[in-house]
Structure 1
């Protein structure tokens, strides 16, 4: 790590995350100034106003410039999306257990003044008024959520490959050509012209924003006493005067170009999951050209990448009390993937692929989330470098499987093989085609264990006594596992219908209230169709819906079949009574449920088959619907850290779990139950038939560092990943850390500030996580190879 990077990282890690009022104030001013304009033009002018008036700064030593808010590592407020819960919870932000944010008196005063003007107008309030009571009741019970209610759609990967070749100037010229050659004959053509006009305003404001940094850097250079830093500032000024309007000519310009586009998308709206995808592919030509001309060294390129990673880590967002726990660690899911294949199926690894991993290992930031695409032809050197980082306890990179994902993407989007080979990740584990996809893996989360609880109680929530789901028969009347599964599937179908109804209502409101002209123009299809991604402009559209608790649910069904239906050592009535009492006075029975029935994660075909059947049914249930843009719904087996909060909504369960304890994380086995070794665990998870979860299956696995040390340890890790992928697993991420280190970090957080862990499809600093989430990570099985 260079001294520059050390100082930048030290400054960042010592900065307490905060809340910023500036954006909220400026957006409010802009909405008042441009009131009455067509919506898409209002949105474009609001972005231009923001980029013109927001505070900008260049920190000492920075080589990549462009800030998110008026202060480092601060969360802006987007009152057009959410306002009143911020006003209600603002005094709790500094002290809450999960993702706390400091709030200055000035920012508090400004926010409370501004947010009052948005009462009844923010997206989340409008949605809350429109959502049927039944959906809100189901959400309150913890059986499901409806996503995108108080944030933008997000989850895009701009067409960086094309944009880097032509710059925004080409897009501006094409939009003006569309305007010139389109006769306004009806409402449709009127809206198309307004979209192109809005796109031009947004793109021109992007360069005006960059020009502000060009002027600031030049002004700073005038008073800079260090000749080296003065030269750097003048170079920054030159770069910012060119990009993103003009195509970059150097690697430094290319990285700054990418950062400006990504940053402005983030300033425009509060969506997350906006990702970089195949960074090593679309920026490599600039690196190679600079190397050939002697304009850059390998070390200088790594330093630029580390500056870029630090900028990505600076982006955080504010969430309410529920979602700050459910998505703990300030994540915004900016995924960057390397490796994989070229369009003709050859190894795409290049020198920049290695530099990305080297920079990632050196700077150790939580963002972006770096991943490697694996296939049989991947360079062994690339694989070894990634696995070495894992062995060192860095928890990065994650690995994805071309063998499964390429054909899956072809089916999901109807894409060609060439297109599918270019796939990247949106956010956590959701594969898409970069530059042309509006992917929304934000539909909501179905709590499978809560659905089973309802199936066992004929649709009544035993925690409240209220009827929540459909009547699917009293548990005592169900005489086989097949009948119980049928009851469970009917509960799932019922809540899928509610969730998708709610999500499509929300999607319609995004189209009519929150179109994003700048983000849209960066995605193929929107310019040609003259409409935003929110209105279905992208070439490909789809929406991903999550399920949580697959491990506990499969284990519970297996236990019921074993003890109630097969051995008949327990009646349905006895089991229900024990569950309602939370096993009080029935510890022996609880241990029997826990230890005398097969458990997912141990290569047991019976219980693994139950888990696979649930995922398969979930896919079938989703397939009956289309989203608000005409795309399909796809399954995601993923929980983030929602497994902690969803567990708090479920009473004791038939797998031996106490009431309110967390459910399993993502598609991993229940914590501590995969006791037959890592090979058995990966064999179980691979039996889910992950083809049925076409938006991804997130798999966490943890190893004790002592068991995978040295060359033998690398070979073990290599075998684990390749065996899992040969069995058609989609994704695997590996934490290598022992319990003692994690417990020490809880007790002495100041000494473990840089300890990174995989929470879900993202990295987080362990000491910044809520204590419940920390404990849940410690509970994950630590495998010995």
Structure 2
């Protein structure tokens, strides 16, 4: 049971004003700009962190079991105006100048609160085990010893000096919190804080306390959010087991500490949905990491081949189910032989709308090994925001490409031209991915391909697929070319820079350089394949209309699409509503799931290898950008009109899976996921379909069958459309309704109307 005191804090958190801001940080950052603007980058970073941590308040409530919070207040109108002017001065500059200050920034929203000399975008896992076993003091000592190397360059020295300053600042902050706890009469907490200020964690409580201190500082001070907390049930288990054996801990006390830790991961978040940028609460925010989900990985295989479910795994699932908060985003890793009772616990928690999703070790481990991840670290794989794969402690932050798989088909049908904006021969582009698209990874605007066969010259599906592959290969090559240009520029600009995560990754101190320079073992680009179901449906439609039934020639169909079905409205409706679609367990359609995946993977592999530091890892994911990407694609052969959304994540196209959930899962499982490294499959189930013991047993069997058939991921919302519509009308009554969106959870009433409507429109499945 959740403690009464914690319940009250949760209720209070729900009522917090979204305008509340960590004003102390903002003011101190602006001071630091003047104080350290002439210093080398590593020193400026370390001194900025120290300046903030030595001055910010240290709130501590009597009921808190773990120390660590920040002071929040609503800024005045004048303060808000001043802050926005500073943010504008930092980033309202030409793109070329912006790229010299920071690279790969993902979105304008991410930039505005992050100063260029104090950067971090997170999306990674720190070496949590190393942190707990070594402690900050030993980590600082290692950096100091590394600085004695006479062969270091000035840039490397500056980098290491910055890390030492960061370790010292964090230790001093924790020591100061110990004094705060002492003054509050919390002697036990003070003792724990003094131990972890410099030393290793020795107890379960100390381990959670040290983890939380680093998370708090990384996210709320440095903006290093969207963390993969990795397999906490594995690396915390020795502390838990030892404390139980020596009488320092009970299961009840362990559960209370877990509840506290989970809530604290929510408490620092603003009441908003970061992807709904049109809402007042998201548009307003002045915060870094204001709504960043943290991922927590449970269960899965261990490196010795045994299963990872232990008593701590159970406690963490139980906590997630009872709290029903949006953070942390719990990933349970399925494997052959997972305990039946534990599987029932997980499925029941998902049925009760806990923030829990499932990933499949039986596909993920082969996929990651295929792209070069070695044992033993492959067994600790996890995820950060939006289902991106991650090797904890051994790689840096997010580099991504949202690759629109529908684009190559459009180019193949138009001899490399873009029908919505035909190419002018006099204006060739150096790279199909412009600077903004390369930074955010999103394909927007006009994209052109290479000259290829005219539609009338393509005489079979095999020939069409060859042309599709040509265009796909060309676009992937263009991205690689642009990425390498930017990466080369980044290395020239960031030699002495550091980020907070560099203090807690394996390899950065040893190599005396930031992860962006190659300091870690692994470096990846998450290559998100987008619109897989739209491509599958379109290819089947071409096969059926052109090469089987011979209703149209490929030229005729191409011309109809170029004109956006003008004068052919009934044809578009027939193709959309009557033609077989992916998601209904029809082999003639579903065969293209493997065909497209094979082509995509072949393209990825062509532009991977020893010539590149960064390797592309393919996933199938759109996040919530399937609407944006669809805006830049003309009409497609499945009846979709120009500018309409492409299919979402791994799901069938909206409303096309009409044969039930079993058929839908059978279709998706035909994707060869042992070469795909991540991405979500979103399901919405009607509550009546999973009621009672019978419903739970059916859900357990359904999900396990999908995993055994080669599926990769599942996340569900058990809620009917009527409830969601009622929540739109009466948000106050439904403010705690938490839903899985794509790669994170959100409170439904905090989402924008478009996102709410998209969730309501998702097919309502019956088990």
TM range (shorter): 0.7 to 0.9
Establish whether residue 437 from structure 1 lines up as the match of residue 395 from structure 2. yes
Aligned partner of residue 248 in structure 1, secondary structure = coil
Alpha-carbon contact 2:583-2:652 (below 8 Å) kept: yes
Establish whether residue 553 from structure 1 lines up as the match of residue 553 from structure 2. no
Establish whether residue 354 from structure 1 lines up as the match of residue 314 from structure 2. yes
What does residue 596 of structure 2 align with? 614
C-alpha distance in 2, partners of 1:325/1:504? 33
What does residue 191 of structure 2 align with? 238
Alpha-carbon contact 2:273-2:291 (below 8 Å) kept: no
Alpha-carbon contact 1:195-1:517 (below 8 Å) kept: no
- The match for 2:707 among 696, 721, 725 is 725
C-alpha distance in 2, partners of 1:501/1:50? 40
Q: How do 1:299-698 residues align onto structure 2 when only pairs under 5 Å count?
A: 299-316=252-269, 324=277, 332-394=292-354, 396-416=355-375, 418-438=376-396, 440=398, 442-466=399-423, 468-470=447-449, 471-508=451-488, 511=491, 512-513=493-494, 515-572=497-554, 574-576=556-558, 578-579=560-561, 582-583=564-565, 586-625=568-607, 630-693=613-676, 695-698=677-680
Change (3 A) 1:563 1:367: same
Alpha-carbon contact 1:643-1:662 (below 8 Å) kept: yes
Aligned partner of residue 258 in structure 1, secondary structure = helix
C-alpha distance in 2, partners of 1:506/1:307? 42
**How far does the alpha carbon of each residue in 1:578-633 deviate from its partner, in whole angstroms, 9 at most, with x for none?**
54555465442123212443311122223222232222222222223359971311
* Residues 602-611 or 290-299, more deviating: 290-299
C-alpha distance in 2, partners of 1:119/1:546? 27
What does residue 53 of structure 1 align with? 55
Once the two structures are TM-superposed, the CA of residue 368 in structure 1 deviates from its matched residue by 1.0
C-alpha distance in 1, partners of 2:85/2:103? 28
Change (3 A) 1:736 1:130: closer
C-alpha distance in 2, partners of 1:772/1:762? 17
Alpha-carbon contact 1:275-1:333 (below 8 Å) kept: no
C-alpha distance in 2, partners of 1:583/1:661? 13
Change (3 A) 1:113 1:425: closer
Number of aligned residue pairs: 723
C-alpha distance in 1, partners of 2:663/2:272? 38
Change (3 A) 1:128 1:497: farther
Once the two structures are TM-superposed, the CA of residue 553 in structure 1 deviates from its matched residue by 1.7
Alpha-carbon contact 2:276-2:755 (below 8 Å) kept: no
* Residues 711-720 or 564-573, more deviating: 564-573
**How far does the alpha carbon of each residue in 1:52-111 deviate from its partner, in whole angstroms, 9 at most, with x for none?**
2334423563332323x6428xxxxxxxxxxxxxxxxxxxxxxxxxxxxx8751442231
**How far does the alpha carbon of each residue in 1:722-753 deviate from its partner, in whole angstroms, 9 at most, with x for none?**
22222222222122221111121122111111
What does residue 252 of structure 1 align with? 205
Alpha-carbon contact 2:45-2:499 (below 8 Å) kept: yes
C-alpha distance in 1, partners of 2:89/2:598? 47
C-alpha distance in 2, partners of 1:61/1:121? 47
Aligned partner of residue 524 in structure 2, secondary structure = strand
What does residue 16 of structure 2 align with? 15
What does residue 41 of structure 2 align with? 39
C-alpha distance in 2, partners of 1:589/1:750? 45
Change (3 A) 1:369 1:508: farther
Once the two structures are TM-superposed, the CA of residue 360 in structure 1 deviates from its matched residue by 0.7
Once the two structures are TM-superposed, the CA of residue 235 in structure 1 deviates from its matched residue by 3.4
C-alpha distance in 2, partners of 1:122/1:215? 47
Once the two structures are TM-superposed, the CA of residue 34 in structure 1 deviates from its matched residue by 2.2
Aligned partner of residue 702 in structure 1, secondary structure = strand
**How far does the alpha carbon of each residue in 1:271-325 deviate from its partner, in whole angstroms, 9 at most, with x for none?**
4432101011111222233333433333332222222222212445899998837
Once the two structures are TM-superposed, the CA of residue 257 in structure 1 deviates from its matched residue by 0.6
What does residue 291 of structure 1 align with? 244
Change (3 A) 1:567 1:348: same
C-alpha distance in 2, partners of 1:323/1:497? 32
**How far does the alpha carbon of each residue in 1:120-149 deviate from its partner, in whole angstroms, 9 at most, with x for none?**
7799852299999xxx9xx99xxxxxxx99
Alpha-carbon contact 2:682-2:716 (below 8 Å) kept: yes
Once the two structures are TM-superposed, the CA of residue 365 in structure 1 deviates from its matched residue by 1.2
C-alpha distance in 2, partners of 1:591/1:313? 45
Once the two structures are TM-superposed, the CA of residue 361 in structure 1 deviates from its matched residue by 1.1
Aligned partner of residue 448 in structure 2, secondary structure = coil
* Residues 116-125 or 742-751, more deviating: 116-125
Once the two structures are TM-superposed, the CA of residue 549 in structure 1 deviates from its matched residue by 0.9
Alpha-carbon contact 1:336-1:369 (below 8 Å) kept: yes
What does residue 111 of structure 2 align with? none
- The RMSD of aligned alpha carbons is 3.3
Change (3 A) 1:10 1:421: same
Aligned partner of residue 751 in structure 1, secondary structure = coil
* Residues 728-737 or 21-30, more deviating: 21-30
Change (3 A) 1:753 1:674: same
C-alpha distance in 1, partners of 2:373/2:85? 49
Instruction: State the TM-score, normalizing by the size of structure 2.
Output: 0.86
Aligned partner of residue 474 in structure 2, secondary structure = helix
What does residue 3 of structure 1 align with? 4
C-alpha distance in 2, partners of 1:705/1:276? 31
Alpha-carbon contact 1:432-1:439 (below 8 Å) kept: no
**How far does the alpha carbon of each residue in 1:193-249 deviate from its partner, in whole angstroms, 9 at most, with x for none?**
333322211111111122332233334x2xxxxxxxx5xx44333333332422223
* Residues 275-284 or 104-113, more deviating: 104-113
**How far does the alpha carbon of each residue in 1:25-52 deviate from its partner, in whole angstroms, 9 at most, with x for none?**
4334323322333322222222222222
Once the two structures are TM-superposed, the CA of residue 689 in structure 1 deviates from its matched residue by 0.9
What does residue 681 of structure 2 align with? 699
C-alpha distance in 2, partners of 1:178/1:323? 45
C-alpha distance in 2, partners of 1:336/1:44? 28
Alpha-carbon contact 2:237-2:312 (below 8 Å) kept: yes
Aligned partner of residue 243 in structure 1, secondary structure = helix
What does residue 64 of structure 2 align with? 62
Once the two structures are TM-superposed, the CA of residue 701 in structure 1 deviates from its matched residue by 2.2
Change (3 A) 1:319 1:361: closer
What does residue 178 of structure 1 align with? 146
Establish whether residue 777 from structure 1 lines up as the match of residue 759 from structure 2. yes
Once the two structures are TM-superposed, the CA of residue 357 in structure 1 deviates from its matched residue by 0.9
Aligned partner of residue 538 in structure 1, secondary structure = coil
C-alpha distance in 1, partners of 2:275/2:312? 40
**How far does the alpha carbon of each residue in 1:9-32 deviate from its partner, in whole angstroms, 9 at most, with x for none?**
112211233355554443343233
Alpha-carbon contact 1:391-1:713 (below 8 Å) kept: no
Change (3 A) 1:130 1:488: farther
What does residue 90 of structure 1 align with? none
C-alpha distance in 1, partners of 2:91/2:745? 35
C-alpha distance in 1, partners of 2:394/2:739? 32
Aligned partner of residue 195 in structure 2, secondary structure = coil
C-alpha distance in 2, partners of 1:508/1:20? 36
C-alpha distance in 2, partners of 1:585/1:443? 40
* Residues 580-589 or 767-776, more deviating: 580-589
Once the two structures are TM-superposed, the CA of residue 333 in structure 1 deviates from its matched residue by 3.7
